[in-house]
Amino acid sequence: MDDLRVPHQTSAPAEPPEAPAPPTPRSVRNIDEREFRAWLWVTTSLLALALVAVSVPLAATLYGVHLLAAFATSLALAGALPLAVKWPWVAAGLSVVGIVVFALLSAGSEGAPWPWPVTTIISQGALLVVLGLLRLNWIGVLAAWFVPVAVTMPFALVDGGALANWITAAAVTSLALAIALLIAQRRQIGAELFREREHSAEEQQRRVLVEERTRVARELHDVVAHGLSVINVQATSAPYRLTDLTDDVRTEFAEIAATSRTAMTEMRQLLGVLRSSGSAAETTPQPGLGELGSLATSVERAGVPVTLELGTHLATDKLVSTAAYRIVQEALSNVVRHAPGAPTHVSVEVLAGDLVISVENDQATDVPGPDAKGGGHGLVGIDERAALLGGRAEHGPLPGGGYRVLATLPLGGDGHDPRHGHGGSTA
């Protein structure tokens, strides 16, 4: 096959379909839940180690608690933090037990804040924040604050000096509660918005796919309807053109004509369902491989150099011809849109009983326009057209830059005469 530069001809420019929209970048706020929980567990574990390191000596010296008991209560209060990442309500219950046991063991200590040591206030406030980060129900977070405050109230009433400590602890932890509720609400809203965006993206993708399939079906309808019309005319006129037909043959032709008319009626009804209310009926013939020269010329006028290479004895089947034209049209439209000025090579040939269409472009020489980021149907249409005819399509960037669209359409027994072989070129 020989390369040729298509001469300029008068032709309407192809309508460039939009390229698929790029995926939405992943937001930090919507990080994977398992990664977030792992990060939260590491953070709370480090905080728990720091609290244990401080609270054990304080409990043993300042509050006079036995060393083993100091270790146990400190581990219960601080260990509730990393435990909350996996079992939040178990952690909340363990924290309440640790607060009450420590208050009982440290009763009577002089000159130290009681029944809420500073380390206990810090651990309880941090626990409430963790519960908020986990997006727990606000009633549950409120209960996690209220229960330890309520169970330590009798200690403050028994010892008048403990009342100020209890009020301070209730105030500080209530502030942590407010922060936890705000965090929980914000994360919940963020998660709902993220799910809604995902749902909208999926709906948009389905809508694009349905619209493209409908468009392809409308185009193929014109091709198939033409073939059925020819069959109907030939079958109807055969008894008048051929005078020596038997009655059985005349009946057979009549049945063929009736069947073709029924098929055309059903196709028109199906097309009426597929056609949207805003789309007008197409009255012009569908283009095919013979119009590729005009298509390439129109693209060259848009500033994209096109080299068209055609093989001999290409597909004569109208469905394959129309699909091949549309695939090349959509591929060239994407070049015009996303790689303006890029030299492009179009190849159409018959290989091993298949029509192989290749559109390759180099890197863009001009800056893409502002509309190059829109979302649309271009590559979706190429995939749908190839799949509809039992073929396949591949597309993606080239190693050295540029982009390639490759489609293979099976010809079967209708696409070409195997006696002619493959290869050759047309000018």
340 touches 366 (CB < 8 A):
yes
Which residue ranges of the chain lie beneath pLDDT 50? 1-30, 281, 374-376, 413-427
The neighbour count for residue 369, using CB atoms within 10 Å, is 11
pLDDT of the residue at 412: 65
Instruction: Give CA–CA dist 419/401, Å, rounded.
Output: 39
Cα 368 to the chain's mean position, in Å? Answer: 24
162 touches 114 (CB < 8 A):
yes
378-413, pLDDT tens digit by residue?
A: 787 788 888 888 899 999 999 888 899 999 999 864
Instruction: Give 382-400 as a DSSP string.
Output: HHHHHHHTT-EEEEEE-TT
357 touches 292 (CB < 8 A):
no
Look at phi and psi of residue 424 and say left if phi exceeds 0, alpha if psi is from -120 to 50, else beta.
Answer: left
Q: Which two tokens stand for residue 156?
A: 């403050």
The neighbour count for residue 350, using CB atoms within 10 Å, is 22
Residues in the chain: 427
Instruction: Give 145-173 as a DSSP string.
Output: HHHHHHHTHHHHHHSGGGHHHHHHHHHHH
Instruction: Give CA–CA dist 204/209, Å, rounded.
Output: 9
Q: Which two tokens stand for residue 153?
A: 């109230």
User: Which among 406, 24, 361, 375 is positioned nearest to 212, based on CA atoms?
Assistant: 375
The neighbour count for residue 103, using CB atoms within 10 Å, is 23
106 touches 63 (CB < 8 A):
yes
Instruction: Give CA–CA dist 418/415, Å, rounded.
Output: 9
Instruction: Give CA–CA dist 289/19, Å, rounded.
Output: 23
Instruction: Give CA–CA dist 125/170, Å, rounded.
Output: 10
Handedness of CA 424, 403, 217, 307 (dihedral sign): negative
Backbone angles phi, psi at 121, to 5 degrees: -60, -40
Instruction: Give CA–CA dist 136/59, Å, rounded.
Output: 32
CB-based contacts of 116, cutoff 8 Å, min separation 6: 99, 152, 165, 166, 168, 169
Instruction: Give CA–CA dist 291/298, Å, rounded.
Output: 11
Instruction: Give CA–CA dist 175/181, Å, rounded.
Output: 10
Handedness of CA 6, 8, 12, 15 (dihedral sign): positive
Backbone angles phi, psi at 184, to 5 degrees: -60, -45
Q: Which residues on adjacent β-strands are paired with residue 344? A: 306, 361
Token pair 């980021």 is found at: 373
Q: Hey, is 410 helix, strand or coil?
A: strand
328 touches 288 (CB < 8 A):
no
pLDDT of the residue at 408: 93
**Taking the CA atoms of the chain, what radius of gyration do you get in angstroms?**
38
User: Which among 323, 307, 327 is positioned nearest to 425, based on CA atoms?
Assistant: 307
CATH number at 4-11+287-420: 3.30.565.10
* Residue extents of the structural domains in the chain: 4-11+287-420, 28-201, 211-274
H or E segment and range at residue 4: strand 4-5
253: Cα within 13 Å, side-chain hemisphere: 16
180-217, pLDDT tens digit by residue?
A: 888 888 877 877 887 888 888 888 877 777 777 776 76
